[in-house]
């Protein structure tokens, strides 16, 4: 595994468009330069193994995943308490591109692990959208999910390097992403 030249830790509320922003960044930088890493992938894979579940179905936006979400959150928190870097190490394994976009950073312990491991190449990116916009994207508040650390862990305690507003205005989003991409090109 080559050391990254830039690590972007994306965070934001459900349906803020974190995955969309991550995909846009990879598209603009190119797949040879940028890879998207997901902390939830290793979590869901291990959870599926330990509980005899269908890993692939836990990855999609289905009722199947929602049925297990709260228990998966609880289980993941137990794993993190025992080893804060468990899912971070699994996510970066095999990453070769110089730019890593972690599309689902959710906790201060994730930010701390990446900063301790990769230092000054780490940048935090908050993707924001109003509740109204998120509702248009089919977001509905779920008690035990939207008020859990997995959704609120970075609402405080992090001074974000970048804040990307994603309200559905393609031009405004494009301008913000272009500034970020230009900054990344300077570090490559």
Annotated binding site: 13-19, 137, 166, 176
Please state the residue numbers annotated as binding site for substrate.
166
Handedness of CA 85, 100, 66, 147 (dihedral sign): positive
Please state the residue numbers annotated as binding site for ATP.
13-19, 137, 176
Q: Packing angle between helix 40-51 and helix 63-82, nearest 10 degrees?
A: 100
Query: Helices (H), strands (E): how many in the chain?
Result: 9, 5
Tokens standing for residue 80: 């993190």
Residue whose token pair is 């977001």: 139
Q: d(Cα 7, Cα 113) in Å, to the nearest integer?
A: 12
- DSSP summary character for residue 87: H
Q: d(Cα 81, Cα 1) in Å, to the nearest integer?
A: 26
Contacts of 50 (CB under 8 A, 6+ apart): 75
Q: d(Cα 92, Cα 150) in Å, to the nearest integer?
A: 20
């Amino acid at each position: 595994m080559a050391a990254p030249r830039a690590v972007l830790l994306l965070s934001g509320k459900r349906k803020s468009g974190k995955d969309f922003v991550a995909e846009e960044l990879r598209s603009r930088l190119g797949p040879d330069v940028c890879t998207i890493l997901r902390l939830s992938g290793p979590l869901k894979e291990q959870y599926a193994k330990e509980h005899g579940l269908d890993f692939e179905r836990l990855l999609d936006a289905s009722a199947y995943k929602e049925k297990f979400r709260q228990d998966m959150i609880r289980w993941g928190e137990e794993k993190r308490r025992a080893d804060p870097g468990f899912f971070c190490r699994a996510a970066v394994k095999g990453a070769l591109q110089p730019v890593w976009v972690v599309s689902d950073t959710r906790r201060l312990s994730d930010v701390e692990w990446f900063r301790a491991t990769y230092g000054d190449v780490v940048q935090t990116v908050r993707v924001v959208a109003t509740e109204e916009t998120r509702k248009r994207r089919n977001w509905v508040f779920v008690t035990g999910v939207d008020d859990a650390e997995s959704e609120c862990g970075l609402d405080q305690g992090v001074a974000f390097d970048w804040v990307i507003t994603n309200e559905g205005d393609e031009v405004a989003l494009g301008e913000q992403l272009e500034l970020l991409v230009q900054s990344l090109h300077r570090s490559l």
